[in-house]
Amino acid sequence: MTGNACVVGSGPNGLTAAIVLAKAGLRTTVYEEQPTIGGGARSAELTLPGFVHDVCSAVHPWAASSPAFATFPLAEHGLEWIQPPLPLAHPLDDGSAAVLAMPIEDTCARLGPDGAVYRRAIGPLARRWRELLPIIQQPLLRFPAHPWLLARFGALAFWPAAASARLLFRTEAARALFAGIAAHSVLPLEALGSAAFGWVLAIAGHAVGWPIPRGGSQSIANALASYFESLGGSIVTNHRIGSLDELGDAAPVLCDLTPRQFVAVAGSRLPARYRRQLEAYRYGPGVFKIDWALSAPIPWTAAECGRAGTIHVGGSLDEIAASERASAGTAASERPFVLVAQPSLFDASRAPAGKHTAWGYCHVPHASTEDMTERIESQVERFAPGFRARILARHTATPADLERHNANLVGGDITGGAQDLKQLVLRPTRLFYRTPLAGVYLCSSSTPPGGAVHGMCGFHAAETALRGIRNGLLTIATIALMAALLCAPGSAQQDPAQATKPPSTTEKWHFFIEETATPFTLVASGVNAAVSEATRSDPQYGVGGVALTKRFGAAVGDNITQNFFSDFVLASALHEDTRYIRKGPSHGFWSRFSYAVSRAFVTRTDAGERTTNWANLLGCGLQAGLSNAYYPPPSQTGRATAINWANSVAGSGFGNLFPEFLPDFKKWLKKHHL
Ligand SMILES: Cc1cc2nc3c(=O)[nH]c(=O)nc-3n(C[C@H](O)[C@H](O)[C@H](O)COP(=O)(O)OP(=O)(O)OC[C@H]3O[C@@H](n4cnc5c(N)ncnc54)[C@H](O)[C@@H]3O)c2cc1C
C-alpha cells in the first residue's frame, strides 16, 4: 500500500471515508481527539456498572440502509442488527398507541380511515426504497438516476410536515404519528421540507425497520474500525488536530469536522470568500439528553410500547409542533417532545439481568443551558405511570456537555448544522465535499446527505478525493503523451528503399534494441501506468507513488519482452521482417490509418512477400504469458492473460499510428513555427 492519507475525526463518516481510501490502496491514518473512537456512535457505562448506554445515536434505519455500509463486511467484524417487533410506537393520552410496523399493511390497518391515504402516499416508494435511497443520499443537485422517482418523492417531501399531516390525515393518531417522525428533522414542523424527514423515515421503517446494534452503537464504530484496520489503516486516539499544518504533506486530508471547526484548523489558508461562507453556515437547535438505569422496563400504559424499540413521547400533532417551534426559538417547551429508545428490552447485553436501560432526549434552543430533566421525565410518566419509581440512576447531558464530548455537536446540534431547504441543497457550500485547498475535503454530516449514522458523507467525500487523484493522473498522462508526440524519434519507421533489403539476424537484434531503448518506450510505459492507475485496473497495486512505479515497471517489462520476442526471436525464427514501412502522405487518411493498424496482423517475409504477422501475434502472446511472473495474482488467470494478449496486439497496431503520422505532425509544427 502506498500514499499517505489522513482523516481527522473517527465518527461514522470519518471511518467510512478512511475505509474507502484504504480500499483504494492509500496508507490512511485516522486522528481522533477523544480517548474512544466513534463520534456519534459510541456507548459507555454512563450510569452504573453493567449498564451500557448509547452516548449519542441509538436507533439506526439509516445505517441499516446505507449503500456504503452494505459494501463493507461489517457482520464479519462483529456488527449484528436486532429488529424490535415494532420499529416505533407513539402513545396517546387515551391509553392507545399509533404504531409504525415493518409490514406497511399492518401500519395501514392500525391507521383506520387514514390507512388508505398512507398506503397510496408511500407504498410505491417503500417498494422502491433501494432505488430511492442512493438518490436522496447524494448531493441533491446531482442528476438523479431515477428522475421520476425523485419527482414523486419530492412532491410529498417539499411541504411543511404539520400542513401535510393536517391535509392528508383525518385522525389524531395518524397526524401525531407523522408529526413525531417528521420531528427528527430538528426543524419547526411548519418549515418547508420538514415533511421529507417524516416520509423518508417512515419508508425506511417499512423497508429495513429501525434496528438497534447488539451491544450498542459502539458496535457500529468498532466494526468500521476493525474492517479499516484489516485493510492496513491505523487509528490514533487522544490526538486533537489543531491545525492542518500538523498533517505535513499528507494527501488527501478528509475532515470529519463541521464548518466552524474546519475554519479553526484550516486557519489563514482558506480564501476569504469561502471562509465567509463557512462562517455564515447555520447550526440548529441543541438537544438535552438523559440516560436511565432502570430496575424494570418502562411501564407504558399502551401495550404496543413494550414491543417497540423507539417511543415518541409528546402526544398530539399540535403539542409536538409547539415543542419544535419552541426549540427553534429561545426557550424550551414546558411539555417537550421526547424521543425514547429502550434497547435493553431486545438486547440483553445492555444491562445486568432483569435490569434495563433507556435513552431519551428532547430538542432545546441552540446552546440552551436549561435543565430539562424534570420536564422530560414528566412526559414519560404521563404515558407510563410509575416510571420514576423504576429509575436507579440517571446521566444527563446539556448541549454544552455534548459538545465537550464531541466538538462536532456545536451548541448541542446533533445534525451537523440546520437541515433547512437551503442547507440541504448547498451543504455546507456549493463545493459540497471539496474545499478551495488542494487535497483537503470535508466529510462530516455537514455535507450531503446530512445527519445520522450512515457514513454516506464520508463515502462521497472519499470518492471525490479519489476522483481528484485519478484526474491528476490522467492530466499527467495527457501531458506525457503530448511530450511523447513532440520528442519521439519516430519509432520503427523505415525508409522504404532500405527496407527492401532482407534484414539479417544481427539487424533484427539492432532493430529490437532501437525499438526498445528509446525515451518513447519510457514515456509510453509512463502513460500506460498512469492510465492503468487512473482507471484502477489491477486494483491490487493500489494508488500512489509506489503503486505507480510498480505499474510503470510492469509496463516497461511488457514492452521489452514483447519487442524481444516479436522483433528478434520470432522474426528471426520465422524469417519475418517486422519493421514498419510507412505509407506516407501521398495516401488518404483512412487508408493510412487502416494500413498502420493492420500491420499488427500483416507483415512481410524477409523475401518481401506479404504474410501473417506471426512474429507479432505470437510475441504478444508470449509477453502476456510471461507477465504472469510479475503481475499481481488476480491478473494471472487465463482470462486476464488473454485480455493482456489482445491488448498487446491492439497496442502494437495502434502504436503504428505514431511512425505513420508523427512526421506529418512534426512538419506541421515546424511550418507554423511552433
Ligand atoms: C444525542 C444524539 C442522538 C442521536 N441519535 C441518532 C440516532 O438514533 N440515529 C442516527 O442515525 N443518528 C443519531 N444521531 C446523529 C449521529 O450521531 C450523527 O449524525 C453522526 O454521528 C455524524 O457522524 P460524523 O462522522 O459526521 O461526525 P461525528 O460522529 O460527530 O464524529 C466526529 C468525530 O470527530 C472528532 N473530532 C472533532 N474535532 C476533532 C479534531 N480537531 N481532531 C480530531 N478529532 C476531532 C470528534 O471527537 C468525533 O469523534 C444522534 C446524535 C446525538 C448527539
Tens of pLDDT, residue by residue over 151-176, are 999 999 999 999 999 999 999 999 99
Contacting residues for 587 by C-beta, under 8 A, at least 6 apart: 595
Residue range 463-490: average pLDDT? 73
Which one of 200, 240, 243, 406 would you pick to mutate in the ligand 1 pocket, going by the greatest count of ligand atoms within 8 A of its CB? 406
Distance of CA 63 from the midpoint of ligand 1 (Å): 13
Nearest CA to ligand 1 atom 34: 9
CA of 390 to the centre of ligand 1 (A): 30
- Give 341 Cα–ligand 1 centroid separation in angstroms: 18
Closest residue by Cα to atom 7, ligand 1, is: 57
- The pLDDT of 407-423, averaged and rounded, is 95
Mean pLDDT of the residues in the chain: 92
> Average of pLDDT values for 257-267?
95
State the distance from the centre of ligand 1 to the C-alpha of 450, rounded, in angstroms: 11
Grid cell locating 638: 487465463
pLDDT higher than threshold 80 for residue 229:
yes
Average pLDDT rounded to a whole number, residues 117-130: 94
CA distance 321 to 318: 5
CATH number, domain 2-80+212-283+409-465, options 3.50.50.60, 3.10.20.30, 3.30.460.80, 1.20.210.10: 3.50.50.60
Q: How far is the CA of 455 from the centre of ligand 1 (A)?
A: 11
pLDDT of 491 over the 50 cut = no
**Ligand 1 pocket mutation pick from 10, 32, 42, 56 by most atoms within 8 angstroms of CB:** 56
pLDDT at 2: 45
Q: How far is the CA of 41 from the centre of ligand 1 (A)?
A: 7
pLDDT of residue 343: 98
- The pLDDT assigned to 142 comes to 78
Distance 104 CA to ligand 1 centre (A): 31
The per-residue pLDDT for 113 is 95
* pLDDT recorded at residue 498: 53
Residue 494 has pLDDT above 90, yes or no: no
In the reported structure, the alpha carbon of residue 327 is separated from the centroid of ligand 1 by a whole-number distance in angstroms of 20
* Å from CA of 401 to ligand 1 middle: 14
What's the rounded mean pLDDT across residues 133-142?
83
Which atom of ligand 1 is the closest one to the Cα of 397?
A: 1
Query: Which pLDDT value is given to residue 87?
Result: 98
* Residue 458 CA, closest ligand 1 atom number: 25
* Gap between the terminal Cα atoms of the chain: 42
Rounded CA separation 98/109 (Å): 11
Going by pLDDT thresholds of 50, 70 and 90, the confidence category of residue 359 is: very high
The answer to whether residue 571 scores a pLDDT higher than 90 is yes
Task: Please identify, by atom number, the ligand 1 atom nearest to the C-alpha of residue 61.
Answer: 11
Nearest-atom index, ligand 1, CA of 341: 8
Identify which of 515, 519, 510, 625 has the alpha carbon closest to the alpha carbon of residue 560.
515
C-alpha 139 to ligand 1 mean position (Å):
20
**Percent share of the chain, pLDDT over 70:** 95
Please tell me the predicted confidence (pLDDT) of residue 665.
85
Q: Is the peptide bond before 252 cis (omega within 30 degrees of 0)?
A: yes
Percent of the chain with pLDDT over 90: 73
Confidence band for 3, pLDDT divided at 50, 70 and 90: low
Within 6 A (CB) of ligand 1 lie 8-14, 31-34, 39-41, 56-60, 62, 240-241, 256-257, 261, 265, 287, 289, 361, 402, 406-409, 414, 416, 444-445, 451-453, 457
For 172, 178, 315, the CA distances from 318, given in Å and listed in that order, are 10, 12, 8
Is 655 within 8 Å of 599 (Cβ atoms)?
no
User: What does the domain layout of the chain look like in residue ranges?
Assistant: 2-80+212-283+409-465, 488-671
pLDDT, residue 9, reads 98
**Atom from ligand 1 closest to the CA of residue 14:** 25
- The ligand 1 atom nearest the CA atom of 289: 1
Cell matching residue 149: 422517482
Q: Whose CA is nearest to atom 12 of ligand 1?
A: 452
Residues 6+ apart with CB under 8 A from 110: 98, 99, 101
Q: Give the model's pLDDT for residue 575.
A: 94
Q: Which atom of ligand 1 is nearest to the CA of 415?
A: 19
Atom 49 in ligand 1: residue holding the nearest Cα:
39
Give the distance (Å) from ligand 1 centre to CA of residue 537: 35
CA 445 to chain centre: 12
Hey, whose CA ends up nearest to atom 38 of ligand 1?
407
Please give the helix or strand (H or E) that residue 311 lies within, else none.
strand 308-313
Ligand 1 center from residue 412 Cα (angstroms): 11
DSSP 636: -
With a cut of 50, say whether residue 490 has pLDDT above it. no
- What is the reported pLDDT for 202? 97
- The answer to whether residues 406 and 56 touch, using CB atoms and an 8 Å cutoff, is yes
**Residue 564 banded pLDDT, cuts 50, 70, 90:** very high
Mean pLDDT in residue range 482-506: 63
- Cα–chain center distance at 615: 48
pLDDT in tens, 40-54: 999 999 999 999 999
